[in-house]
Structure 1
Amino acid sequence: MEVAQLLLSGVSYRELVKAVGTAILFEQLLSRGKGAIQNSTFQAQVKTTGGFLLLYAFARSWLRLVSHYVPEPYLDEFFHIPQAQTYCEGRYLEWDDKITTPPGLYFLSVAFHKLWMMQCTVYSLRYLNITATLSIALIATRCHALVTARISGRGNGHSSASFHTGLNIALFPVIFFFSALYYTDVVSTLVVLLAYENHLLRVGPQRPDFLNGIWTVVLGVAALCMRQTNVFWVVVYMGGLEAAHAVRLLSPPPVEPPKGPLSFAEHIRFYVWRDSVGDMHDPQLNAAWPEDWLFCLISIGIAAVCNPFKVLRQVWPHITVLGLFVGFVAWNGGVVLGDKSNHVATIHLAQMLYIWPFFAFFSAPLLLPSVVPFLLAPFRILVSTSQPKTGEKPLVVQMINKFYYMPYILGTIALSLAIVKFNTIIHPFTLADNRHYMFYIFRYTILRSIKVRYLLVAGYTLSRWFVWNTLAGTPSVDFPTVSGEAKEKPAKNNANKTSSVSPGPPTSTALFWLLATTLSLMTAPLVEPRYFILPWVFWRLLVPSWSPAADIQSVLPNSKWAGKLKIDPRLALETIWFLAINAGTIYMFLFRPFYWKSSDGELLDDGKVQRFMW
């Protein structure tokens, strides 16, 4: 009854204006995304407004429950909230040495409270993250529209799929959970998305002007002021993509490969020459084999070295941000502020194993087009081997043609086993703090036995295949491969066949995403779901849409549903899945508290209530 009264209590008009007004202010003043969303219909605007208000109602209800049951600062808020209140009082030189992240969140909090003329209370500081969550939905919508336009080559108008994607990103459980607590993660994600939207507007047919370069530096520095590891996204990921874009703008005229018998050296000279003039090897990800990944990186490197001034003209803002970051590290004596002893950078490659089941769990609805064919793979292999279609190579023959493919798969599995054996790091915080879900995940998996650790490699491998194929957008995957089945060009009579999946990103985009993800995770000894937020957000923005109509048509030609299911049903399933996870974590946090007790039953931590959280 008490919960119902809290949820049904009237919505404060003033609070709504603060949240929505500030979110729109972020969008208009900070994103500067002119033309990012155009040609939206009245129906689309109504759906957008309705979804936006529902998100606000859900987030505000969550905040009201937290404020009622947890009115005092909890866990990391114990450090963040007093520091923000110190800044609100104008004492900017006072700093808590236990805080490891820069003061960007606190400066933004001061501006937010001065804008609406409020006092810095626990409730008002938490409310800032409600505003940031709404802003994430808006900016992620714009980013998805721009990403789709870049990949498909079509217009950048508003679409219901883009808005639904932005809404789901805001509902992502690890983001949404912290929307009612005063943590850095939500605002940090927002600022990085603002930088990403600006990047997407920079990679157009015209080179960006100098003022936009200055704005790019400002957004990059703002991202670093929120969290130091954001350097990998605003410099490595976005800077790498802009370097590839600069190479792509060279647009050399096509040249036929040399004919006749050529030596290996002559072949090398020809392709190096083509790379040097900007003929970059960058196929769509669903048409790329592992050697294409290597050739893509080599071609970008050769083109950048041979055209340094054109590349520097595009990426100088990112180099400037990197220089400022290096200067900060030299001045600070390290990357981490404050408590350096518990945050020592190390090589933790096992993080790149854990990320795939993390993605597979949260994005399970998106993996359906890859998982279902995998379950049918034995039957399809038999059919394709015994009765291949005219002009179509059986799957087994395709696999054999790539002679290195099976050794490649075995090599990745062997590498995973080696990482498990030699580089499994268990941080003391993971073992000591039973308030976090990661404590129980480790306890019932990795810490059970060595055999279980090795058996988990199968789960890491399958998750990686499914996640990568989902990113590639490979339709009707016969087997969880590296998305190389589409390597051969389709026959002319199939050229107009409708694909069930939109084009995936270019190979270079996926590789720069993987590089930034690796750099941001492998230096962290502590396994935290919050560290996976940005890798997931950028992956989610790149995932192509899927229409089941073509797949149903191929299986059931006369089905009445074949022409009706033109939208991506995974979006609705993703929303339902996220709502279910959020409801579960909200319930555990609010209504399943516990106390720390010693072996003789004495209350520890001064008898404070402990709560489960990410």
Structure 2
Amino acid sequence: MSYFVSPEFLRVLLLGFITSLHMTWRRLVNQIVPVPYLDEVFHVPQAQAYWLGKWSHWDAKITTPAGLYVYSYFVNSIRDFFTLDFKPSINQWRATNVLLLYILLVALYILAAISKRSVNHDGILQREFNIVMFPLIFFFSGVYYTDLFSVFSVVLTHIFWSAGTSATGYTKTSYQALHLVAGLISLASRQTNIFWVAVYLGGLQVIETVKGQVGPNKVHDPPISEAYFEEFPIFGISIAQYAINVIPQLLIDLWPQISLIISFAAFILWNGGVVLGDKDNHIATIHLPQMLYIWPFIVFFSWPVLLPQLAQLSSFRRRLPRLSTALCFMILMLGVVKFNTVIHPFTLADNRHYTFYVFRILRQHWLVKYAAVPIYFVCAALIIGALGGGPGEVRSESEAAQNRVLYGADTVHVSFTLVWLIATALSLVSAPLVEPRYFILPWLMWRLAVPEYMPIPKPDEQQKAVDGNSKDAPQRGSNSPSPSLVQQLLKTVAAYANVLELIWYIAINLGTCYIFLYKGFEWPQEPGNIQRFMW
């Protein structure tokens, strides 16, 4: 009987529930929206042209390469082999995207296993389930867009990089070759993936190589939960100082990332720019406010993930930025808003996207965009703080060692945070158009890095050792105050952060999918043509 209440069994039931929600979404989209909608108007005919053997055909309005269409061609070719008179319709093209959601789920589990992050094996809900239910990933899995293939290809590349870091000899070379192949596939799905398969993974590889050559303790790289702002430039100087001495090894370890960057540069020279088509409306520019918008985006979707850092208020207060740091950053943010706010004509012209309404609020009064600056800063502080994990987490030494991001700590280090920030900035600030889809990969890499909160009680002996190793821990027999009701409530809520995250995602998905399907409207200039709200 215990088998039927085991975490494994309950996890299967949860996966079945998620699958049923996803299949219902897919079925309703095909029933209610049986014709291509919005960008599908370009993607579906292009995929259909390839299916008919018209490999030289290309729609000049499509901005991204042909990776999705080639992938869909092979998937439907397999179906064609087992089906008589197979003629793919929009349903079949969308189905190839549906398949990607489950392949992505498997890839995320593989990545977690290779990265050796700690997992609460007794817990029913794991972060991989939440990731595939992330509203933008869930929504675009039901329509024929490029986003899921793009995300999967980056995760696949990440898998090969992670596997290669712990391999040696020919095995390492094989993983590096697979990294290069997967990276090229990723670039064939979306050009800006270069910042994740080459720059992001290249930055992590530099840290991995330098620390492996000189020792992890020589590079100044404190945990993010213990770092101040000045730790970032100090780390940069420290890593550069040691990297100069190991350049030959760096070139050996970085050849896949270097090859990807060379390939990307060759593409730009051949194409005359980054985007393939519709170049007049997709001109690269410097758009620094993108690095402001991403913070409330992540907080809106992932506020439950931020709760564990509040589980101990005294520790949370110690993590807050100093007043001087906060003032400097907010002044910098005000300057960015004042001198570099870019609002693309598409943002103001298309009321089918939620960003239209966000910018309508920001444009209601000239003071609104400046009043949002403190919100940007607070959101950023909470998101960076979440990388430090939840205070008061109790784990064994072996579990702590497994939960490292780069080297031997139960929290993310300054090094990872800096690499993530650089890759995020490069992928966003060149885009004049604000689209939530552009934030998926920065969010995903952040979400994968947040340490999992597992408040597991320990025996008295272990707890005594933990207390003895903590400078701030109260000694046994001391008259330390008991936790307040608010503190106890925060700890209780933090323990269920993953559950709250899933419930929140389900609620958002139910709302946005319902609005897309049943709350269509018509533009006066296009009577009879149903317009639908979407991300």
Counterparts of 2:120 and 2:103, CA distance in 1: 16
2:137 matched to which residue of 1? 175
1:310 matched to which residue of 2? 249
2:211 matched to which residue of 1? 248
Equivalent residue for 2:338, pick from 406, 418, 421: 421
2:426 matched to which residue of 1? 519
- Which secondary structure state, in structure 1, belongs to the residue aligned with residue 213 of structure 2? coil
Equivalent residue for 1:142, pick from 110, 113, 116: 110
Change in Cα spacing, 1:449 to 1:557, as seen in structure 2 (3 Å) is: closer
Query: What displacement does 1:90 show?
Result: 1.3
Equivalent residue for 1:300, pick from 224, 228, 239: 239
The gaps in structure 1 that reach 5 residues or longer are 1-40, 255-278, 382-394, 478-494, 598-603
Change in Cα spacing, 1:440 to 1:554, as seen in structure 2 (3 Å) is: farther
Indicate yes or no: 2:170 matched with 1:202. Answer: no
Structure 1 length as normaliser, TM-score?
A: 0.75
Equivalent pair of 1:590/1:611 in contact (CA under 8 Å): yes
Equivalent residue for 2:385, pick from 459, 469, 494: 469
Query: What displacement does 1:369 show?
Result: 3.0
Listed one character per residue, the Cα deviations across residues 99-150 of structure 1 (whole Å, up to 9, x for unaligned) are: 000000000000000112143210011111111111222212232344453x
Query: What displacement does 1:206 show?
Result: 3.9
Counterparts of 2:54 and 2:165, CA distance in 1: 41
Counterparts of 2:160 and 2:494, CA distance in 1: 28
**One-letter amino acid of the counterpart of residue 196, structure 1:** H
- Which secondary structure state, in structure 2, belongs to the residue aligned with residue 363 of structure 1? helix
Equivalent pair of 1:429/1:526 in contact (CA under 8 Å): yes
**One-letter amino acid of the counterpart of residue 187, structure 1:** F
Query: What displacement does 1:297 show?
Result: 1.6
2:461 matched to which residue of 1? none
Change in Cα spacing, 1:67 to 1:253, as seen in structure 2 (3 Å) is: closer
Q: For 1:390-469, what aligned pairs fall within 5 Å after superposition?
A: 405-444=322-361, 446-469=362-385
Counterparts of 1:73 and 1:608, CA distance in 2: 12
- Which secondary structure state, in structure 2, belongs to the residue aligned with residue 133 of structure 1? helix
Equivalent pair of 2:337/2:370 in contact (CA under 8 Å): yes
Counterparts of 1:302 and 1:159, CA distance in 2: 41
Listed one character per residue, the Cα deviations across residues 506-532 of structure 1 (whole Å, up to 9, x for unaligned) are: 221111111100000000000000000
Counterparts of 1:514 and 1:348, CA distance in 2: 15
Q: Percent identity?
A: 39
Equivalent pair of 1:177/1:582 in contact (CA under 8 Å): yes
**In terms of Rg, which structure is larger?**
1
2:406 matched to which residue of 1? none
Counterparts of 1:162 and 1:301, CA distance in 2: 43
Equivalent pair of 1:141/1:167 in contact (CA under 8 Å): no
Equivalent residue for 1:589, pick from 498, 501, 516: 516
Equivalent pair of 2:125/2:498 in contact (CA under 8 Å): no
1:51 matched to which residue of 2? 14
Change in Cα spacing, 1:555 to 1:87, as seen in structure 2 (3 Å) is: farther
Counterparts of 1:162 and 1:449, CA distance in 2: 47
Change in Cα spacing, 1:557 to 1:368, as seen in structure 2 (3 Å) is: closer
- Which secondary structure state, in structure 2, belongs to the residue aligned with residue 331 of structure 1? helix
Counterparts of 2:128 and 2:514, CA distance in 1: 25
Counterparts of 2:232 and 2:497, CA distance in 1: 29
Equivalent pair of 2:165/2:172 in contact (CA under 8 Å): no
Q: For 1:206-225, what aligned pairs fall within 5 Å after superposition?
A: 206=168, 209-225=172-188
1:184 matched to which residue of 2? 146
Equivalent pair of 1:205/1:249 in contact (CA under 8 Å): no
Query: What displacement does 1:558 show?
Result: 12
Equivalent pair of 2:355/2:434 in contact (CA under 8 Å): yes
Indicate yes or no: 2:52 matched with 1:96. Answer: no
Equivalent residue for 1:528, pick from 435, 442, 453: 435
Listed one character per residue, the Cα deviations across residues 247-271 of structure 1 (whole Å, up to 9, x for unaligned) are: 11114498xxxxxxxxxxxxxxxxx
Equivalent pair of 1:438/1:528 in contact (CA under 8 Å): yes
- Which secondary structure state, in structure 1, belongs to the residue aligned with residue 451 of structure 2? coil
Equivalent pair of 1:56/1:130 in contact (CA under 8 Å): no
Counterparts of 1:576 and 1:44, CA distance in 2: 19
**One-letter amino acid of the counterpart of residue 46, structure 1:** F
Query: What displacement does 1:58 show?
Result: 1.4
- Which secondary structure state, in structure 1, belongs to the residue aligned with residue 38 of structure 2? coil
Indicate yes or no: 2:40 matched with 1:72. Answer: no
Listed one character per residue, the Cα deviations across residues 551-596 of structure 1 (whole Å, up to 9, x for unaligned) are: 9x9854999x99x979941111100000000000011101111001
Counterparts of 2:288 and 2:51, CA distance in 1: 40
Listed one character per residue, the Cα deviations across residues 418-467 of structure 1 (whole Å, up to 9, x for unaligned) are: 011111111100000000001011112x1111111111011111111111
- Which secondary structure state, in structure 1, belongs to the residue aligned with residue 357 of structure 2? helix
The gaps in structure 2 that reach 5 residues or longer are 81-85, 404-408, 458-472, 474-479
2:465 matched to which residue of 1? none
Give the total of aligned pairs. Answer: 493
- Which secondary structure state, in structure 1, belongs to the residue aligned with residue 200 of structure 2? helix
Structure 2 length as normaliser, TM-score?
A: 0.85
Counterparts of 2:187 and 2:123, CA distance in 1: 31
